[in-house]
Structure 1
Amino acid sequence: MLNPYARRLLAGLGVVAALVATPANPASADLSDVKIDFYFPDVTVAAGSPGKVESAILSASRPVVLRDVTMRFDFSGLSGKVIVSEPDDFGYCTTPEPSVLLCTDPFEVSLEEWGLAGILPVTIAPTDGTDEATGKLKVTFSAAGVDPLTRESSVRVGEGVDLAAGPETETSAKPGEAFDASLAVRNAGTTTVKGSSLVFFGDHALRAGEKYRNCTYDGDHLRTCNFDEELAPGTDYRASLDLVLGKDTYAPGRAYGEAIWMTRAEYEDFAAYLAEQGVSTGEPGTGGTLTLTTGRRQARAAQADTDPMNNHGLITVTTTGKNGSDLAAIGDKLTGAAGAKVTATVGFRNNGPATLDYTRAGSSVTYVRVGVPEGTTVVEAPESCAPVKGEEWGEPGEAGGRSYFCFAGSLAIAGEDETFDFTLRVDKVVPNAKGTVEVNVSCQCDGGFDHDLKPANDTAAVLVNAAGGGGGGTGDGDGGLPVTGAQTGLIVGVGGLLLALGVGGFVLSRRRRTRFVA
């Protein structure tokens, strides 16, 4: 149920993996032209706790498969204060010298540009009797054919506290209507919490009313808030958000918002990760200050949450009224001599009035089928499209197909297009060679839209070397081939692999290539 912002930054606890993954490319003997990099997060752990499990995020300048990936953890700068160990005793790590842990992955590791986390995780824990400490963890990465790289991570041992999100808030509104939503948090521990932060993930439908000066916003969407108030043990606190349900919200239905509470120290660790990744939480608001209902300000020391499992709050908004969507197919008109390469840009437009937001499910808003015109061959296909080979499916982006099945994104904003570019080679000139684009194609997959306001425009033509001024363009229902039967026996691995980042027990999302399985 996480939106794209959440998938880029952090999500619920644990690892979610619901895709069929394949290595990006065969291993290369020569890695001299590949830039490998990694990042290991800063971490704050609670004194007297079992610590946190963390892992590096690996990336490569192009898809590559690595062997003998090794991570060396030197925690001598925290000797006697922190211990770095192998979680669950997998047997991949050794201790060649005091305050050093050496871990080697026995499996191949496939990397792509957007990175991969969860490789060779370690537990970072305070030693008995350590109440406060700060130091550096030196992490060195190496692999067969790759020069070693070293990075430093800041590690803090802080006072243990327990923030717990309040109960779910439920309300209702119609598109365009303002409403108040309460975010609740409780200090469930026995130690005063000296300042807190929240990261907010709201559906596209949830827009900010007032933009508070202690919060940040991406356009009209709330992202983070920082509170200076101290939270007394055993006490409940609330902040009332001024929100608006967007006029383009689909109705009837539901919209969701999630708040994840952190200590200020844990938020600092998370903010450092975002800065490293070049991700912005947006701009501060210029309105009043959002406050928790009780509490007073106090100087802060490092604190860490002892139970991140209870840090998630939820807002549920029942969207009332009736506000639907019309998805219209987009075709194209091309001209080319024999041997020429031409690009067909096809897809669909959301004519609105409602935006379709399937990002919490991580599924496509719709599925598109593209029929290739006679006399042409696909020489380049989008990675989100796979050729249909009878009852089997080829690989994403595979050339040479006669029919393609394409997966749309999870968010189709009213008034905007989503298109796919196919490079076609004109093998021979066939006057009025015709292909088709069909939107809202049935599929035994997650997602898909089946309440289209105007099914008549779900099909459009792709014309090559049209005679007499005929054209493709937006579907109008007059000249496309009909959708002939549902796709059956299709199991599709889609979505993102949510990999452990470990900031306060949360996870980072990274997309990986998928394959289509019949």
Structure 2
Amino acid sequence: MRSVHVTRGRLLRGLTALVVGTATVGVAAVPAMAQDDPGWVSAWLDEVTVSGPTAPGRTVQLTLTSTGATQPRVTVDLTGLAGVATAAFPDFCVTEGTSVTCPMPPTAVDEFGTLTGTVPVVFRAAPGATDGATGSLAYTALGEQTEPSTQQATITVRSGPDLLDLVDESVSGVAVGDSLPVPVAVVNAGDQPVVDLRLTLRFPVGLIPASYRNCRYGTDRVLATVVVCTVRGTFAPGQRHELRQKLTTTVGPATLGSKRISQFVEPLASAGPLPSGVKLKHREAEQGLRLRPVGKALDVIPAGVTGTGGQTHLRSVQGAFDVVAQGATVTGAVGETVRVTVGLRNEGPGVPDATNSGDGVGGFLFVPPAGTTVVGNPSSCWLNGDEESAGDAPATWYCNGPGSVFPAGLTHTAAFDLRIDSLSGTPGEVQPFGRYPRVDDNPGNDVAPVTVG
């Protein structure tokens, strides 16, 4: 990717050239390629909510995208914001009255021939704007020879507290046994203070958070530790608050693969229900979790800080684990039906965890022994692929795993009923369906035979 810098002077020269070129259309013909393919330009701005006039400004990204167009730009009409909100644009934009024109931003990137850039716009409630006031902003994307495309975004004023989470981090190189400092930081983007808040955190299986006396702890159905803390104090508008020593988290032996530690903040007075299906209990602890003010109050909330939730993403923790295939040996005579139980066992200590992706783990493939026919199978297993199109290849059955996590020490099995048609066939086998999140530390036991004699 390459950066593209479009200066204000270049924009004005382009606009002038457009006027001159139109006036002298009979003198200098426009190249045929430009006529045939003028390219395209599009823009997008989300709906915007700002707090009252005394609140910090909110930074919102106006996205501009273009392929093949000359002088792509966006023109913004602010007329519909009168008395409701103001909008401040960066220096590379040109303002004329209530109209603002921004070229493709200097930080735009070119990816496979498409330019994409973002224009940071700072919105504030206008002086005297009241709760519930709304206005509209019209913006038009165009190039020198493209058809203009106009859209509108609604700007709404909402008075009151507005807690936002400031954490969005990605951490690499984390190993089992590490002590990980997890940041916790919030800001009140509203125009009224917040008195006391609730902080809810979720640590995926393997991660062990420190104990605080004003927090309660529980385990959810995918073995994640859920932490709910009541944090006392007054959180003034614009003031950033942090857990100064950060939240010490031990990377335990069950930790395996990528993890996402989530956090969610809300005013205690209007907090929603507690996490369902989790029994929360206090732990013995000497310290309390306290959020302290840091620095001066923010005059403008940065772009990207838009919600009550935050995260710390851990990339690819290389924990140890060993998934072992569980085969079977049964006996019977031709014509009899026998039951075989096959599956996988996680010897640990790592726990395959697909809660980030939403996929299941611990699924396996079962190939019955030659000379047998499956006459009964569990509902969690079905033929993998089209049996008729497999030719001479043996039928293969796929069995679902136990869920989003495959706990250490768990044996996950399925029972099949096999009719014995002959006793001269080759053994079948069972093995994992995929090696998630990687090939385990002992791949030699990943495949096990299934025999009938």
Q: What secondary structure does 2:271 align onto?
A: helix
How many angstroms apart in 2 are the aligned matches of 1:129 and 1:426?
74
- Which residue pairs with 1:259 in the alignment? 263
- Which residue pairs with 1:242 in the alignment? 248
Q: After superposition, give the CA deviation of every residue in 1:7-62 in whole Å (9 maximum; x if it has no partner).
A: xxxxxxxxxxxxxxxxxxxxxxxxxxxxxxxxxxxxxxxx99xxxxxxxxxxxxxx
- The partner residue of 1:229 within 230, 233, 236 is 233
Deviation, 1:190, is 0.7
- The partner residue of 2:309 within 298, 308, 312 is 312
Q: What secondary structure does 1:456 align onto?
A: helix
Deviation, 1:337, is 6.7
Deviation, 1:182, is 1.6
Aligned length: 281
How many angstroms apart in 2 are the aligned matches of 1:129 and 1:190?
11
Q: What secondary structure does 1:248 align onto?
A: coil
Q: What secondary structure does 1:243 align onto?
A: strand
- The partner residue of 1:406 within 394, 399, 403 is 399
How many angstroms apart in 2 are the aligned matches of 1:343 and 1:195?
60
Deviation, 1:340, is 6.7
How many angstroms apart in 1 are the aligned matches of 2:269 and 2:368?
55
- Which residue pairs with 2:116 in the alignment? none
Q: After superposition, give the CA deviation of every residue in 1:425-444 in whole Å (9 maximum; x if it has no partner).
A: 53557488843212255xxx
How many angstroms apart in 2 are the aligned matches of 1:368 and 1:163?
45
Q: After superposition, give the CA deviation of every residue in 1:95-132 in whole Å (9 maximum; x if it has no partner).
A: xxxxxxxxxxxxxxxxxxxxxxxxxxxxxxxxx999xx
Q: Kindly indicate whether the alpha-carbon contact (under 8 Å) linking 1:208 and 1:220 is maintained by their aligned counterparts in 2.
A: no
1:356 partnered with 2:352:
yes
How many angstroms apart in 2 are the aligned matches of 1:434 and 1:129?
74
Amino acid at match of 1:178: S
- Which residue pairs with 1:97 in the alignment? none
Gaps of 5+ in 1: 1-46, 49-127, 131-157, 296-306, 394-400, 442-446, 467-518
1:181 partnered with 2:174:
no
Output aligned runs, 1:430-469, within 5 Å.
430=423, 434-441=427-434, 448-464=436-452, 466=453
How many angstroms apart in 1 are the aligned matches of 2:192 and 2:412?
51
Output aligned runs, 1:68-147, within 5 Å.
none
Return closer, same or farther for 1:388/1:266 CA change in 2, 3 Å cut-off: farther
Ranked by relative contact order (alpha carbons within 8 Å, sequence separation 6 or more), the top structure is 1
How many angstroms apart in 1 are the aligned matches of 2:281 and 2:335?
51
Q: After superposition, give the CA deviation of every residue in 1:354-386 in whole Å (9 maximum; x if it has no partner).
A: 332222012244652111233342323232544
Q: Kindly indicate whether the alpha-carbon contact (under 8 Å) linking 1:194 and 1:229 is maintained by their aligned counterparts in 2.
A: yes
Output aligned runs, 1:21-420, within 5 Å.
160-169=160-169, 173-218=174-219, 221-239=225-243, 240-250=246-256, 254-268=258-272, 270-271=273-274, 279-287=277-285, 288-294=287-293, 309-317=306-314, 323-335=319-331, 342-365=338-361, 367-373=363-369, 374-383=371-380, 385-390=382-387, 402-408=395-401, 409-419=403-413
Q: Kindly indicate whether the alpha-carbon contact (under 8 Å) linking 2:164 and 2:308 is maintained by their aligned counterparts in 1.
A: yes
Q: Percent identity?
A: 22
Q: What secondary structure does 1:325 align onto?
A: coil
Deviation, 1:204, is 1.5
- The partner residue of 2:416 within 417, 423, 426 is 423
How many angstroms apart in 2 are the aligned matches of 1:413 and 1:188?
41
How many angstroms apart in 1 are the aligned matches of 2:358 and 2:131?
44
Deviation, 1:331, is 1.1
Q: Output the TM-score relative to the length of structure 1.
A: 0.46
Return closer, same or farther for 1:406/1:423 CA change in 2, 3 Å cut-off: closer
Give 1 or 2 for the bigger CA radius of gyration: 2
